[in-house]
Amino acid sequence: MALFIISPLCNILHSQDLSDELVGTYDANVIYTQQAVGGITAHTEGWGFFFRRARIPSIFRKEFWEAEAVTMHDEHEYKLVNQENPDASPYYFGKLNGMETIRLGLGVMKMLWRKNDLSYVQVDYVYAVGASLAILKPVYLDVLVSNPVTGQVSPVSQEYNPNTDNPTNIYGRSSVFDGFGQLSFYPGAYGRIALNFDFSNKHRTIKAIEVGVVVDVYDKVIPMMAFVQNNQIFTNLYLNFNIGKRWGQI
């Protein structure tokens, strides 16, 4: 009789211990099924914002979709100022187009180092692939133009022409809104690999830093600069800070 009583009691106590373990400080994140994060990213040629939404089939794996928008610069860009007009705005000489990149993809996070205590850091291996879209806006500059009637020279906003515009006749940068009616689009694909470090001291809250590399490949060469060879493949190291939360208890 004692055996029939003790055995169920042991099972109950074991279940209680497991329940305490799952909702206590040891590993409460096992009970969550969803998470979302967003944040700021900086990479070797620009910066931007991203959002990531994940389902959690197990504490060792997260499956997510992500969206990201970042600026892209060229390593050959350098600023000039018209020395005869110090009040003029600086500009990037030789820059044909400003470039923004939008990424939308799917990925997986796999646990490498488990957060067994709230004071620990969880480390996940991240990889993702998806579509990349380069959006180009032509560069407009204020170019010094002589009035054919009065002969007076004044700055006029016009699209940069590397064949005729040079530091002697460029006054400075035009309004950032000039050229929005001439956007061009270049489709491509991207892939990323990274390590994600979650240092939050709460199970529901996510505070993490991610370090990795992202590669964008386009179907054509992207005409960003004059006088140099432009690229079709862009490889960048990146660092992002993301915050978010988990929810959806089993």
Give the tens place of pLDDT for each residue, 162-213.
999 999 999 999 999 999 999 999 999 999 999 999 999 888 999 999 999 9
CB atoms within 10 A of CB 92: 20
Residue 33 lies in a domain: no
> Dihedral sign, CA of 174, 179, 185, 191?
positive
Closest to 202 in 3D by CA, of 28, 64, 33:
28
- What is the domain-level CATH number for residue 159? 2.40.160
Sequence-separated contacts (24+) of 219-223 with Cβ below 8 Å: 219/186, 219/187, 219/188, 220/186, 222/97, 222/99, 222/134, 222/136, 222/186, 223/96, 223/97, 223/136
Beta strands 184-198 and 79-80 are unpaired
Query: How many residues are present in the chain?
Result: 250
Cα(107)–Cα(128) distance, integer angstroms:
4
Contacts of 247 (CB under 8 A, 6+ apart): 32, 33, 34, 35, 204
Three-state DSSP class for residue 104: strand
Residue 59 lies in a domain: yes
Residue 29 lies in a domain: no
First to last CA, the chain: 36
Tokens representing 85?
């007009």
Cα(60)–Cα(109) distance, integer angstroms:
8
pLDDT tens for each residue of 90-132: 999 999 999 999 999 999 999 999 877 777 899 999 999 999 9
Residue 25 lies in a domain: no
Residue 8 lies in a domain: no
What is the extent of the structural domain holding 129? 39-249
Residue 17 lies in a domain: no
pTM for the full predicted model: 0.85
Q: What is the mean pLDDT of the chain?
A: 88
Residue 11 lies in a domain: no
**What kind and span of H or E run contains 173?**
strand 170-173
Residue 18 lies in a domain: no
Number of domains into which the chain is organized:
1
